[in-house]
Structure formats: C-alpha cells, structure tokens
Amino acid sequence: MGRILFGLVPDEMKLFCQIFVDEFCNGFDRYISIDLVKIPQSRSLEVRFDGDRYVITYNEALQVARGIGAILAGLVKEGQIYQEKNVFKKLGVMLDCSRNAVMKVESVKRWLRQLSLMGYNLLMLYTEDTYELSGEPYFGYLRGRYLAAELKEIDAYAASLNIEVVGCIQTLGHLTHLLKWDAYKNVKDTAAVLLVDHPETYALIEKMVKQMSDCIISRRIHIGMDETFDLGLGEFLHRHGYKKQKEIYNRHLNKVVAICKKYSLKPMIWSDMYFRTSMEPYENYDPHAEIPEHVAQSIPDDVEFVFWDYYKEDKQYYVELIKRHRELGKGPLVASGIWTWARFWYDKNITMSTAGPCIDACLETNVQELLLTMWGDGGAYCEFDSAMAGLAWVAEKALAGDSFNEESLEQKFQMITSRVYKDVITACDLNNICDLAAYMWDDPILGCQWKQARENDSQYWLKAIARCNELLVRLKPLAVDTGVIDFNHAYNLAVFLKSRIEVGLKLDDIVDSCDSTKVTKAIGLCRTTIGKLDLVLESFRRQWYRRNKVYGFEDIQNRFGGLKQRLMELESRLGQLQDGEKVNIPEWRE
C-alpha cells in the first residue's frame, strides 16, 4: 500500500499537508513524494515530475491544493510542466442554509475537503436565522440552527484547509421566518424587513454580528441587505410617513457598519438595491441606473459590494456592471450561481450559460474574488451533492487557464468525488424533460401546470414523455447506485415523472368519454404512480438525511404526502366513473 509523502514544506502549509494525508491520501498503490516551493508575488502554479518526486511551485495556498489534485488525477507527466495562471485571490462557495436544508457539520467538512482540492478557498454559510443567539429562543426555532460550537468547528476545520469562512447573514430583509414570531413584532416593518431607526432593531442586529464575530476567525462579514423591496412601507410608514427608500437604506447601512466596526469586522452587502430600477423578474441590476450623488457619497467607504446575477448570458453585461461598481469605489466581489434552486438535480445548462460569461467577464476585468452561490429557493429539494459537478466545472474554467479541457475536468472530478462526471451530467437531463419542479407540485386533478404547458404547445407532454423515456435508458445502468450523488434518486424521479405524465395523457383521453376500458387503465396508472411516488420519497429521504439536519424535511414530506393524497383522490374519482356513477372530473375539464 502506498502513501503521499511531503518533503520540503513551508511552515504555514504543514498543518494542511498533514490533514491532507490523514483525510485523503491513504490507500494508494504507490508512494508519491511532493515538495512545495513558495514563490512570493507569483500568480502561477507549476507542477513538475522528474520521475522521483513532484515539485509544486506556488504562491497561494489554493494553488497547492489544485497542484495536488492535478498530481492525483494523473495530469502531471514526467518531463512536462503542468501550469495554471491564477487571476482570483478568492474562489468561494455560498451554501444556502435558510430554505429548509441546513447541512450537517460532517457534511460541510466533506464538502470543504472536496472544495479544497478543486481550488476553492472561501466558504459562506447563508444563515438568515439558522444560527443560535443567546437569549433569543425563537431565533431559528425549529429551523436546524447552527450552535455556536458547530460554527466554530466548521471554521476551525476550514482554516486547517486554508479556506476562509465568512459569516453570511441578513440585517434588514429576507427575515420572514424570524418576523413571523410575536417575539419580534417590535422590530418588524413588513413581513420580511426589519424596522429601521428603532433601537430594539439594532440591539438584535448587534447580537447577530457579535455571534458571527465570536464564532468565526475571519474579520469579514456579509450582512446581506438585498431585495428589500418594501422597505419603509409597513410599520415604518405608519410611524414616520413616506421616506425615500435609498435614504432609509443608507441610514440603516451606516448604523450596521458602525456595529461591525465595534467588533473589528469589515462588512459586505449584496449591492442590488443601489442599481435596481425595475421590479421585473431577473432585472436585479440596471447598467444605466442613476445613483444620486448624495446617495453615493453617503455609502460607507469601508463596506464592500457583492454584485450578483445568476440569469444574464451576456459577458458585456457583467463587464459593464463591474465597471459601474468600480466607479463607486467598490471592488466588487462578484457572485454567480451553481443552479440548485427550484431544481431536483443540478442544472448544467443554465449554470454554464450564465456562470460562463460571468467568469469570462471577471477574468477580463481582473476581478479578485468570485463567489458561486447555491440557493435553495422553493424548499432546497435539490440533490445538492450533484452540484459538485458544477463546482468542478467552474473551478477549472476559473483557475485552469490554458490547461482547461473536458478530459482533465473528468479526471479531477472522479479523483475528488469517486464519481464519474459524465454520469452526473446525464442525470442533469432531468431538467430538460419539462419544468420538473413546477410539475412535481402541480395538483394532479386541477392540472394548472399541465394545462398551461399544453396550451402553449399541444404536443408538449408527448415530447416530454419521449425525452423521459430516452433518459431512463441512459439512467438504467445507474439505477441501483444509492451513494453520495444519489443516482437511484435521479432514476426514481424519472420513473415517477414518466408515470405521472402517462396519467395526464390518459385523463386528456377520457375527459370527454366514460369508456370503461380507458377508465380502468387510468385507475391502474394512478396506482402505479402512487407506488413510484413512494420510491421517490424513500430516495429523497435517504439523500436528505445523509447530508442535512432533520429540520426542513417535514416541509417536503408534507408536499409529497399531499400529492399522494390527491393521486389517491383521483383514483377514487375514476373508480366512481368505472362503477357507472354520474361523476366526472370538472377540475380537469375547466
């Protein structure tokens, strides 16, 4: 049995190398010897192999991890130099821990190990109310909140891998889960927004900031403050009358920044509220937005901006917005997205079409920090481990430079995750059958999504079932694989989707007819579909509990349970038709 042996290692990398050996590197069939040589100011990673030992030449710690990853993936050949030129000082991931799913500490550690090998060196855990606050029993109540000890454990482990953890909270909006409790009625402006200029509000915010300061080493903190559309239009309006939102916003920001300074923290915010001129979906930034001079001047100098967009496919759009941020004296840190929200599986196509041009713009404009967000909007029902494929693709595109190619990506991915990249990408076609998330929760009797899609394209569902059948053929060899990145779950989703579409097609066929043979077949399809739904819930439960805390699962379980009851109701209605009763299904006809 072989092992990785580190020879020359700078002092600051010794702990990382030891953890790397302990956690990753036992069980090889050969010995691998590695020396590390740091060259200050260099932006390049170079790895050489002389037939006896590997030498990694680097400046940043993330380059060491990527160099080791390249060695283990077999990309470094004798007599050749493996080289990458690094533009980014920070490549980060933000995990959404506020939409049902809160990742277990052990799962976060596993992710950190894999992210380190890919070259990531920044982690944010997006926690609206999912962390404990002393004296605040309803803060994160029944939400799976992280205990202080858990945050400290994650932070210490990340630090050992040279990954910076930055607290990522909300100090103005997106606090619906918190503000639903009567305990917080005194700090509530609207359903999701805190009451600005109220002393109790800032006492609560100081508790939030202090908790992050106490639990996390980094002196940076993300204080949120995005999408506060109804700021000043609730209790604030009642107390103070109408005030311009940007003025309220800036005043509040300055107060929160002052709290951060008290704890020696440098804050950053999502910057959309300064650039938004439209309430249209996905129009979060207007490159031509007018920011009044007095508003710009009152933005605190020591708050950083995070420019985020997960929807645009035009590189020039990103270039222009980066320029606009710099005109305000802000970096910025740029955030794109690995598409996990409103999805049951990582969405490769939309990730590549949006994150791709964003990365290109960042490379062109020399952006120093790039963050990949992984949101859980809609309930965090995605098989999040599948998104490792997206994170691997981004890391190669952002960091590998001229070394980036599909073959090396696949080799690194398999070495890091023990999974085949192309298999994960095959399952991504779940997103191409239909709008799976919308249809999954569509009532099987009312059929709103079904009818809307059919109205737009009369052949929509016939095309969808054809795509589903084709995908099932490709997923079949993976159907029994229940490991991390759960292909059995992907297969179960496809099988259920096919069965459910068949029910819809049969209902379309019998809605104007009570043909007993057709009704009997429809009843059988309902029963089959209910059985397939049970398998989906079983595999969903498995992958959820493997990765997440228990909290939040009840929401998805209730949805599946409601769907099952409605399918049973449909079967019962069809049974009445079969028995000759004068009962039809008016909801489907309407």
Q: How far is CA 127 from the centre of its chain?
A: 13
Question: Percent of the chain beyond pLDDT 90?
Answer: 83
Confidence at 511, pLDDT banded by 50, 70, 90? confident
Please give the C-alpha separations between residue 534 and each of 436, 525, 549, 564, in angstroms, as whole numbers: 17, 14, 22, 8
Q: What is the mean pLDDT of the chain?
A: 94
Sheet (strand 54-58) strand order:
26-28, 2-6, 32-38, 54-58, 44-49, 81-85
Task: Locate all alpha helices (DSSP H) within 428-486, ordered by sequence.
Answer: 436-440, 448-456, 460-475
Confidence at 248, pLDDT banded by 50, 70, 90? very high
Helices 448-456 and 460-475 cross at an angle (nearest 10°) of: 110
In the prediction, which pLDDT does 152 show? 98
3.40.50.720, 3.30.870.10, 3.30.160.230, 3.40.50.300: which CATH number matches 4-85?
Answer: 3.30.160.230
In the prediction, which pLDDT does 198 show? 98
For 59-76, what is each residue's pLDDT tens digit? 988 899 999 989 988 999
User: Fold for domain 433-588?
Assistant: Four Helix Bundle (Hemerythrin (Met), subunit A) (1.20.120)
In the prediction, which pLDDT does 42 show? 86
Judge whether residue 27 has pLDDT over 80: no
In the prediction, which pLDDT does 2 show? 61
In the prediction, which pLDDT does 281 show? 67
Judge whether residue 581 has pLDDT over 80: no
Beta carbons of 584 and 577 less than 8 angstroms apart = yes
In the prediction, which pLDDT does 515 show? 80
In the prediction, which pLDDT does 283 show? 78
3-state SS class at 373: strand
Question: Rounded to the nearest 5°, which phi and psi values hold at 4?
Answer: -90, 130
Cβ-proximal residues to 577 (8 Å cutoff; 6+ apart), any chain: 514, 519, 583, 584
C-alpha angle 398-345-378 in degrees, rounded to nearest 5: 105
Q: Which residue has the higher pLDDT, 273 or 589?
A: 273
CATH, domain range 90-419: 3.20.20.80
In the prediction, which pLDDT does 178 show? 98
In the prediction, which pLDDT does 212 show? 98
Q: What is the mean pLDDT of residues 560-568?
A: 98
Q: What is the mean pLDDT of residues 307-320?
A: 97
Give the 3-state secondary structure of 95-142: EECCCCCCECHHHHHHHHHHHHHHCCCEEEEECCCCECCCCCCCCCCC
Amino acid at the residue 68: I
3-state SS class at 409: helix
What are residue 546's DSSP bridge partners?
A: none
In the prediction, which pLDDT does 589 show? 86
For 479-510, what is each residue's pLDDT tens digit? 999 999 999 999 999 999 999 999 999 999 88
* Pairwise CA distance, residues 282 & 311, whole Å: 6
For the chain, the structural domain boundaries read 4-85, 90-419, 433-588
Nearest to 511 by CA among 590, 588, 576: 588
In the prediction, which pLDDT does 583 show? 61
377: tokens are 């909007």
Lowest mean pLDDT among 282-286, 323-327, 358-362, 466-470: 282-286
